Structures are given as C-alpha cells and as structure tokens.
Amino acid sequence: MSDLKLAVILGSTRPGRKGAAVADWVLTKAKERTRADYELIDLLDYPLPHLDEAVPASRGAYSGEHTKAWAAKIAEYDGYVFVTPEYNHSTSGVLKNAIDYLYAEWNNKAAAFVSYGSLGGTRAIEHLRAIASELQLAHVRQQLSFSLFSDFENFSAFTPSATHDDAATVLFDQLESWAGALKTVRG
C-alpha cells in the first residue's frame, strides 16, 4: 500500500452526466498504479449549497457542518484528478463552488485535469489551472481531453480511443511525482 493518497473528483452533478463514465475510466486506469492509492469523490455525495460561508475560506473558520465535512474529506489527500465537463467555455458551477469552499486543504498539493466536451473541454481546464494556482495547488502539464464527437458513441456511451492510454500514464506519473514531492513540503 502506498503512502500517497489521491482523489479523482467527479465535477458534475447534472442529470444524465457523462462525467461518471469518464471518472470511472480514470479510476480504473489509476487502480492499475502502485505508487498511489486512488479514490473517487463524487460531488453528488457532497451536496454543498451555493457558497454560504460568511468568512473567506483562507481564514479556515468554517461554520457549516457541510463545509467541515467537505474540508475533512479533501484534507485526507495528497493530490487530485479533477474530472470536469466544459460548460460555456468553463468548468461546471458545482465544481467551482466545491473548490471555493476551501483553501488550506488544497495548499501545497498536486492536481491533474481530465475534461470532456465538444472541443474536449480544454477551456474548462484553462480556467481550472488559474483557480488551482490561486489555491497553491500545483498542477501538472499533462491533461486528458475527451471529445463528445470522437470519444463518445452517439454522444452518450463513453468509448475513448486507446491513444488516451499513454497520455493517462504520463498524467499519473506526473501527478504522483509532484504529490510525493509536495508531501515533503507539507511534512
């Protein structure tokens, strides 16, 4: 068992979401790894209302029980793979909301991004990179982008091409390396 603990965060709660299949694929690939233990966090299991904390997250003075539970869960991990749809050239509102609830729990940890959408969701990742930087969340270069046109049969069944396998290996290698290094920073 590895001493690195990483989460795959499913960043969509939309009915009929495509993200569950994408996150399951990512988690299946991750479970083949030996350098880290991976776990799925589905935002459906953490129904956070629109940000309702009166004090900024950077102060760490959480008042809501839902915030405290979310903070405790996120604090468990050394890094994250964010799985996001692209909605209107950005990430989903529910993922942005979940990220905004916390601050210190994200600091000095590693992040990787997996997206899907008509153009592969790359614009959602661009926004998430800026958000991650503000949270002192180090993001790796490699990303995975799945197209609704070529990686989903009839825009519904997730059927990624094998070409994504090598990119996933690089993503996990980078994430695990950075998560391990940053663990010593937090140490």
| Model pTM above 0.95 | yes
The pLDDT of 62-75, averaged and rounded, is: 98
**169/126 Cα distance (integer angstroms):** 21
**Total number of domains in the chain:** 1
**81/110 Cα distance (integer angstroms):** 9
One-letter amino acid identity for 91?
Answer: T
The pLDDT of residue 2 is: 75
The pLDDT of residue 104 is: 98
* Domain range enclosing 18: 5-186
The pLDDT of 69-78, averaged and rounded, is: 98
Alpha-carbon 159 to chain mean position: 21
What digits encode the pLDDT tens for the residues 91-111? 999 999 999 999 999 999 999
**117/158 Cα distance (integer angstroms):** 12
The pLDDT of 78-94, averaged and rounded, is: 97
**128/140 Cα distance (integer angstroms):** 12
What digits encode the pLDDT tens for the residues 137-186? 999 999 999 999 999 999 899 999 999 999 999 999 999 999 999 999 99
One-letter amino acid identity for 1?
Answer: M
Who's near 119: CB < 8 A, 6+ residues apart?
86, 147
**127/84 Cα distance (integer angstroms):** 11
Structure tokens at 10: 């499913």
The pLDDT of residue 187 is: 84
The pLDDT of residue 112 is: 98
- Cβ neighbourhood burial of 53 (10 Å; 0-12, 13-18, 19+): middle
Structure tokens at 5: 């603990």
Q: Where are the beta strands (DSSP E) in 11-155?
A: 37-42, 79-85, 109-117, 137-147, 152-153
Identify the CATH number of the domain in which residue 101 sits. 3.40.50.360
The pLDDT of residue 1 is: 53
The pLDDT of residue 136 is: 97
The pLDDT of residue 42 is: 98
**40/92 Cα distance (integer angstroms):** 18
What digits encode the pLDDT tens for the residues 9-66? 999 999 999 999 999 999 999 999 999 999 999 999 999 999 999 999 999 999 999 9
